[in-house]
Amino acid sequence: MDLTLSPAEQAFEAEVRAFIGEHLPADIREKVRLDRFLDRDDFMRWQQILGRQGWFTGAWPREHGGQAWSAMQTIIFNRVAGEMHCPELQVFGPAMVGPVLYTFGTEAQKAKHLPAIRDSSVWWCQGYSEPGAGSDLASLKTQADDQGDHFVVNGQKIWTSYAHFADWMFCLVRTGREGRKQEGISFLLIDMKTPGVDVQPIRMLDGRHYLNAVFFDDVKVPRENLIGEAGRGWTYAKFLLEHERVENANLRFITQELQKLRRVAGEVRSGRRRLIDDPAFAAEVAGVEVQFKALEIGLLRMLSDMHAGAPAGPGKSSFIKIRGTEIAQRITELLVQAAGPDGQRYQPGPLLGANDDALVGPEHALGPVPSYQFCRAMTIYGGSTEVQKNIMAKHALGL
Ligand SMILES: Cc1cc2nc3c(=O)[nH]c(=O)nc-3n(C[C@H](O)[C@H](O)[C@H](O)COP(=O)(O)OP(=O)(O)OC[C@H]3O[C@@H](n4cnc5c(N)ncnc54)[C@H](O)[C@@H]3O)c2cc1C
């Protein structure tokens, strides 16, 4: 596979670099550079800047207002975004519900929701998991009673990332109890301001609030918010999960953290030498770099197939998810090692803005431990590694 950038791709890379250099707000770049936590306004400001350029949904087809980026352009964009300290993009709209809407939605649903995803004026969240229905998602119990022109939803979702920031949720609900458990599931869009929706925070080890439990108590959802046919939600849900797993390659994050690892390993001293001159540490850094290159090639192959109209396919997207999350975890482990004892200091002021305390110790030691802790979850959300391995065994190896 030839990975040399064509003149057009080189020009695109230069354009992305120049655009980010000119438009990424300095305060946001500084927060990302220092691993400080971002709030809703930070994410939205940057996404709306990208939206005005047409780049928040760059990979969407042109007929739906996208830029029809090639696989290589998508990779270039993420790589440069990582190098230049851009925030992680919230992919619930552009990479999850967006493709479901333009593939399965009605004209009215497309007209209502696609523009607001493209310009990032609306924040979406994902209501899939429930207590007792994570890996075994088809066991979900949240009930939607069909009342003709509307559904009445009762039940609970859990681990809903950023539900407290969200304007809308795409949600899996049960509308039927007959047949296989996958058959009675429907895909509903729920306005988070509807009476009866209650979002409760789940605080994390690092003090952050990004997870929630969401309760539904007689929530009235208009029928026009149903995607496709009632009872066929499992088909749309699986389509979405394949896109989600591609996003979980974590290209931007890995690029950013690898760059940091190389820099820190060149600055921090281990005894009389720099950490990068320690052969064992240098071999670890080289190891993750090589693995990352292989991941990029795998991702390029899969995205090229998808652009040519082939589905991501469950086995392939599972492979990308496993490698992308394991490499990201390994890099954060190495960053914790590089930070050494300085990294053990928990600093809620500089990290969360919880108080006005000044940063204590070197800048590079602030983020690695919270980042390491967060990355433990990467091999759980979007489908756990064990479950991805089962999918690969079945679809790729035919076991
Ligand atoms: C940080 C974070 C953010 C999340 N955000 C969202 C969100 O926005 N929206 C949403 O809907 N959900 C979200 N989730 C939920 C996530 O999708 C689930 O946690 C995940 O699917 C696993 O389900 P579970 O937690 O119920 O674990 P379980 O399914 O109970 O699994 C527990 C353990 O058993 C293993 N296991 C389960 N089944 C099998 C099997 N068949 N074979 C082998 N091993 C198995 C798993 O690998 C895991 O180690 C998030 C989770 C986290 C941690």
- Please tell me whether the overall predicted TM-score, pTM, comes out greater than 0.75 for this model: yes
Q: What is the pLDDT of residue 356?
A: 86
Alpha carbon separation from 301 to 126, 323, 383 (Å, rounded)? 27, 15, 22
> Is there an atom of ligand 1 within 6 Å of 123 CB?
no
Please write the tens of the pLDDT for every residue from 254-277.
999 999 999 999 999 888 899 999
**Residue with more model confidence, 310 or 131:** 131
Contact between 202 and 213 (Cβ < 8 Å) = yes
Residue 355: how many other CB atoms lie within 10 Å = 9
Q: 378 with 248: CB under 8 angstroms?
A: yes
Percent of the chain scoring above 90 in pLDDT: 78
Q: What string of DSSP letters covers 174-197?
A: E---SSSGGGGEEEEEEETTSTTE
pLDDT of residue 308: 76
Among protein residues, the one with the nearest Cα to ligand 1's atom 16 is 381
Structural contact between residues 368 and 336, judged by C-beta atoms closer than 8 angstroms: yes
Q: What is the average pLDDT across 169-181? A: 92
- Write out the H or E segment, with its range, that includes residue 273: strand 273-274
- The CATH number corresponding to 124-231 among 3.40.250.10, 3.40.50.150, 3.40.50.720, 2.40.110.10 equals 2.40.110.10
Q: Is the CB of 381 under 6 A from ligand 1?
A: yes
Ligand 1 atom closest to the CA of 383, numbered from 1: 21
273-274/269-270 β-pairing: antiparallel
Q: Which atom of ligand 1 is nearest to the CA of 161?
A: 8
363 vs 360: CA distance, rounded Å: 8
Residue 373, ligand 1, Cβ within 6 A: no
Residue of 136, 205, 384, 391 to test ligand 1 pocket, by largest number of atoms within 8 Å of CB? 384
Over range 6-31, report the average pLDDT: 97
Domains 7-89 and 124-231 share a fold: no
CATH 1.10.238.10 fits 7-89, yes or no: no
Tell me the CA–centroid distance for residue 34 and ligand 1, in Å: 29
Burial class of 197 by CB neighbour count within 10 A (0 to 12, 13 to 18, 19+): buried
| pLDDT tens sequence across 334-344 | 999 999 999 99
Mean pLDDT of the chain: 93
Cβ atoms of residues 281 and 333 within 8 Å: no
Q: What does the alpha-carbon distance between residue 81 and residue 83 come to, in Å, rounded to a whole number? A: 6
User: Radius of gyration (Cα) for the chain, nearest Å?
Assistant: 22
Residue-wise pLDDT for 23-41, tens only, equals: 999 999 999 999 999 999 9
Residue nearest to atom 2 of ligand 1 (CA): 381
d(CA 133, CA 296): 32
Question: How buried is 157 (Cβ within 10 angstroms: 0-12 exposed, 13-18 middle, 19+ buried)?
Answer: buried
The answer to whether 121 and 49 have CB atoms below 8 angstroms apart is no
Predicted confidence band of residue 2 (pLDDT cuts 50, 70, 90): low
Q: How far is the CA of 134 from the centre of ligand 1 (A)?
A: 5
pLDDT band at 247 (very low <50, low <70, confident <90, very high): confident
Provide the residue ranges of all domains of the chain, joining segments of one domain with +.
7-89, 124-231, 248-395
pLDDT of residue 1: 64
Ligand 1 contacts CB of residue 332 (under 6 A) = no
d(CA 374, ligand 1 centre) in Å: 15
Tell me, in angstroms, the distance from the centre of ligand 1 to residue 179's CA. 25
CATH of segment(s) 248-395:
1.20.140.10
pLDDT band at 101 (very low <50, low <70, confident <90, very high): very high
Check pocket membership of 384 for ligand 1, CB cut-off 6 A: yes
Nearest CA to ligand 1 atom 23: 134
The pLDDT, as a whole number, for residue 271 is: 85
| Residue 365 burial class via C-beta count within 10 angstroms: exposed 0-12, middle 13-18, buried 19 and up | buried
Count of beta carbons in the 10 Å neighbourhood of residue 229:
12
Please provide the distance, in angstroms rounded to a whole number, between the alpha carbons at the two ends of the chain.
29
Range 164-189 average pLDDT: 94
